[in-house]
């Protein structure tokens, strides 16, 4: 089946030869890849020798995980949360089973309650930063490649951050006509249909339109009444237009739209603080859960009494790009506007009782503008300079139903407005000292200003609370300095030190005290990294590795404080100091004909070196034992950060040509994920258990005729595992991962 990668790979054969022969200048700084560079993900046959994907990236001094479109297809990556199964030390988790996503990379990340803060790990789609991660909902289709970059970023593009970035690159328009239609059906009546068409509209003008719709697949059910939960109902559309008026100019216009009415995956209670424990169902099956919305609550939020935990979301956006060759440099401009309209109902106690039902309305808009110059003249010196601006507006309104919660017994409504704008500048240079030694460095600066306005909480039948405005201003400077040595054609090493930062913000959740809204401070991180990239046996074995140490200041974490006669209230606090260290290894092997092996290993450890905070598990335990909330504080100095220590992933595939123009591809993949703490210092039920998963697939197709057919199995061993956690009022839940799915996919392209 033709893809955008295959369509553009052949013209780069000469460039690959030049780099492999050492005749081209090393690429020494991680840069956002254009669609042309993205095409290099395709493995090539050069002079009869097989080379691994992303050959040029082997000369870049980074530890990025680069994932091709073929790997995304083989590993059944249909959501951003699936990416954590392909990269070391990466965690991508749904917030309480919803479409809001939290990213952690090498232990750096933020668990954002209601997505009103900047993530420590920034998400990009086609070079556009998405500060509100839910805006990428439904965008994992027609993707050319994914680039996962750990460590402080923002020296060559976009927004500064502390943790890194996840960059998605969608396929671009093509100069020739191409198209595809794919139908995927699987267990639990799940159906996924996708396709694209791409080609010329006129001379120097081309387009691409891609779409996907997903239906069904709900695998949870309520043992009390037999109702099922989790059906997907999502449709997405993306369109691109590309015009090249001359050989120096490229003008592009893009847009996308997603409508999501999917049901959520519900959590299962593992800790319950309610006095009436016997009211809570004791689930006997992995797929069992419970939920329920009271008629009065449904009427208040304007939804039907039959409402299940679900989304009612619309996302859309547009972007305008210009690239112009100036002779000495290339001028690039990206203007983008993104908007979200969310209506989300979640049952956050995992029961039919009204102790943690939440309904949320979100209206959010983001405008961004980036302008940069990239040097293009040959020589020893290369540079990039640019500026980035973004402005966001958000209004949130969320309802909590505590009617069955003894001690509260009411419905509350909280609402607020948040205004934000940021302006950042960056410069990056690299210089070839010798034929094998290159030094590189960069600086960035960001000013971020945000205000929380008009915050009000109504406790229906009790009182109304109005809160004073809060503000947070960040002015920070980041830096990068490193050295790279291309020791041989197939071996390079590097060392770099970088300093990154992330703005402060607010904990705008269920609020009953002004102290909850107090702005938390910016965080900063100094990262030390040493690594190597090698092909000990060119075309047969590739081995890359990195080791890192993070010096973390004012780390932003979810904690709580105790309000007398009410209970723990969620808030964010700054950890004065913590440290993270680890290693990462990746390997690819093609030992014999038809066999392809790859694997990743990440190991990381982190600890608080200075931190004193409320011990929420101890407070909860005392509540269960005595019925009284009492504050217990703990010095967490030396305590583990609770991040997954070990992550493993890998696959082995058999690929061969068959008679009559057919080809086959058979594969098995695995991934392991270590345990993860739900709370600061969490142990026992306050941790997500480790898990091991397997998957398999078998594909047969005819490339010349443009078709292929696949059967696949995910979670082959039907393991019971938890992918994230949540808590609300009286309960802590583990949100389960999907059981075994057996599916088939038929695809035709031209």
> Where does the pLDDT of residue 272 fall: very low under 50, low under 70, confident under 90, or very high at 90 and above?
confident
pLDDT digits (tens, 9 = 90+) for 446-466: 999 999 999 999 999 999 999
pLDDT digits (tens, 9 = 90+) for 524-558: 999 999 999 999 999 999 999 999 999 999 999 98
Predicted confidence at residue 51, as pLDDT, reads 63
Per-chain mean pLDDT for the chain:
89
Determine phi and psi for 312, rounding to 5 degrees.
Answer: -145, 80
Q: Is the pLDDT of residue 15 over 80?
A: no
Q: Is the pLDDT of residue 25 over 60?
A: no
Predicted confidence at residue 375, as pLDDT, reads 97
Tell me the chain's radius of gyration from C-alpha atoms: 26
> Where does the pLDDT of residue 97 fall: very low under 50, low under 70, confident under 90, or very high at 90 and above?
confident
C-alpha to C-alpha distance for 365 and 417, rounded to whole angstroms: 12
Predicted confidence at residue 7, as pLDDT, reads 29
Predicted confidence at residue 27, as pLDDT, reads 35
Decide: 333 and 127 in contact? Cβ < 8 Å: no
Residue keyed to tokens 């105790």: 562
From the list 572, 688, 605, 677, the residue with the least C-alpha distance to 118 is 572
Predicted confidence at residue 279, as pLDDT, reads 57
For residue 567, the SS3 value is strand
From the list 615, 613, 624, 625, the residue with the least C-alpha distance to 730 is 624
Predicted confidence at residue 65, as pLDDT, reads 97
Q: Which residues face 432 on adjacent strands?
A: 438
Q: Could you say which of 2.60.40.10, 3.40.50.1980, 3.40.50.970, 2.40.170.20 is the CATH number of the domain covering 4-316+326-749?
A: 2.40.170.20
Predicted confidence at residue 721, as pLDDT, reads 95
C-alpha to C-alpha distance for 665 and 533, rounded to whole angstroms: 28
What value does the mean pLDDT take over residues 340-363?
A: 90
The residue ranges of DSSP E strands in 326-410, in sequence order, are 329-347, 357-375, 381-401
pLDDT digits (tens, 9 = 90+) for 377-411: 999 999 999 999 999 999 999 999 988 887 788 99
Which token pair is 21? 């022969």
pLDDT digits (tens, 9 = 90+) for 563-574: 777 777 778 899
pTM of the model: 0.90
Decide: 342 and 115 in contact? Cβ < 8 Å: no
The DSSP element (H or E) to which 689 belongs, if any, is: none
pLDDT digits (tens, 9 = 90+) for 165-212: 999 999 999 999 999 999 999 999 999 999 999 999 999 999 999 999
Top pLDDT among 722 and 100 is at 722
Residues written for the chain: 750
């Amino acid at each position: 089946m033709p893809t955008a990668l295959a369509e553009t790979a052949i013209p780069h054969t000469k460039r690959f030869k030049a780099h492999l022969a050492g005749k081209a200048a090393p690429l020494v700084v991680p840069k956002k890849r254009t669609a042309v560079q993205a095409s290099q993900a395709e493995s090539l046959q050069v002079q009869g020798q097989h080379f691994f994907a992303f050959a040029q990236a082997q000369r870049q001094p980074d530890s990025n995980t680069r994932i091709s479109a073929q790997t995304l297809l083989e590993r059944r990556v249909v959501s951003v949360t699936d990416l954590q199964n392909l990269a070391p030390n990466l965690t991508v988790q749904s917030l309480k089973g919803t479409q809001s996503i939290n990213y952690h990379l090498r232990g750096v990340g933020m668990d954002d309650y209601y997505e009103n803060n900047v993530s420590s790990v920034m998400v990009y789609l086609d070079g556009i930063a998405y500060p509100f991660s839910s805006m990428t909902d439904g965008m994992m289709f027609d993707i050319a490649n994914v680039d996962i970059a750990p460590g402080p970023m923002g020296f060559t593009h976009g927004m500064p951050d502390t943790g890194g970035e996840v960059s998605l690159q969608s396929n671009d328009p093509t100069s020739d006509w191409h198209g595809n239609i794919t139908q995927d059906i699987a267990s639990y009546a799940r159906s996924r249909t996708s396709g694209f068409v791409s080609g010329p509209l006129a001379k120097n003008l081309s387009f691409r339109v891609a779409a996907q719709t997903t239906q069904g697949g709900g695998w949870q059910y309520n043992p009390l009444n037999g109702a099922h939960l989790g059906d997907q109902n999502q449709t997405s559309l993306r369109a691109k237009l590309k015009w090249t008026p001359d050989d120096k100019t490229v003008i592009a216009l893009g847009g996308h739209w997603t409508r999501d009415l999917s049901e959520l995956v519900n959590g299962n209670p593992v800790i319950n603080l309610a006095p009436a424990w016997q009211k809570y169902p004791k689930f006997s099956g992995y797929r069992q859960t419970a939920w329920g919305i009271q008629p009065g609550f449904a009427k208040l939020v304007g939804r039907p009494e039959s409402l299940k935990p679900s989304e009612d979301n619309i996302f859309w956006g547009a972007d305008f790009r210009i690239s112009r060759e100036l002779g000495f440099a290339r001028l690039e401009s990206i203007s983008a506007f993104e908007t979200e309209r969310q209506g989300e109902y979640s049952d956050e106690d995992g029961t039919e009782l009204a102790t943690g039902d939440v309904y949320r309305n979100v209206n959010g808009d983001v405008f961004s503008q980036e302008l940069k110059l990239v040097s293009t003249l040959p020589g020893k010196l290369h540079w990039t300079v640019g500026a980035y601006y973004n402005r966001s507006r958000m209004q949130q309104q969320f309802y909590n139903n505590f009617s069955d919660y003894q001690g509260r017994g009411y419905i509350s409504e909280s609402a607020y407005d948040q205004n934000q704008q940021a302006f950042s500048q960056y410069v990056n240079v690299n210089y070839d000292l010798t034929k094998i030694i290159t030094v590189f460095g960069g600086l960035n600066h960001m000013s971020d200003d945000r205000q929380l306005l008009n915050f009000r909480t109504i406790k229906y039948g009790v009182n109304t609370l109005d809160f004073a405005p809060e503000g947070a201003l960040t002015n920070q400077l980041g830096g990068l300095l490193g050295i790279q040595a291309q020791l041989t054609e197939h071996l390079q090493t590097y060392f770099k030190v970088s300093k990154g930062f992330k703005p402060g913000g607010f904990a705008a959740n269920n609020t009953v005290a002004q102290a909850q809204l107090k702005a938390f401070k910016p965080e900063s991180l100094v990262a030390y990294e040493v690594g190597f990239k090698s092909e000990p046996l060119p075309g047969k074995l590739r081995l890359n590795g990195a080791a890192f140490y993070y010096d973390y200041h004012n780390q932003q974490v979810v904690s709580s404080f105790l309000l007398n006669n009410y209970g723990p209230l969620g808030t964010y606090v700054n950890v004065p100091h913590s440290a993270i260290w680890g290693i990462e290894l990746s390997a690819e092997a093609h030992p014999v004909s038809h066999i392809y092996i790859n694997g990743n290993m990440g190991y990381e450890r982190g600890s608080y070196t200075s931190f004193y905070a409320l011990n929420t598990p101890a407070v909860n335990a005392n509540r269960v034992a005595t019925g009284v909330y009492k504050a217990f504080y703990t010095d967490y100095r030396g305590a583990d950060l609770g991040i997954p220590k070990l992550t493993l992933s890998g696959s082995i595939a058999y690929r061969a040509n068959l008679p009559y123009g057919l080809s086959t591809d058979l594969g098995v993949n695995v991934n392991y994920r270590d345990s993860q703490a739900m709370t600061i210092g969490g142990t026992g039920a306050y941790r997500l258990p480790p898990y091991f998963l397997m998957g398999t697939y078998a594909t047969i197709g005819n490339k010349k005729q443009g078709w292929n057919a696949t059967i696949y199995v995910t979670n082959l061993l039907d393991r019971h595992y938890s992918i994230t956690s949540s808590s609300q009022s009286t309960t802590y839940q583990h949100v389960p991962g999907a059981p075994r799915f057996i599916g088939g996919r038929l695809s035709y392209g031209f």
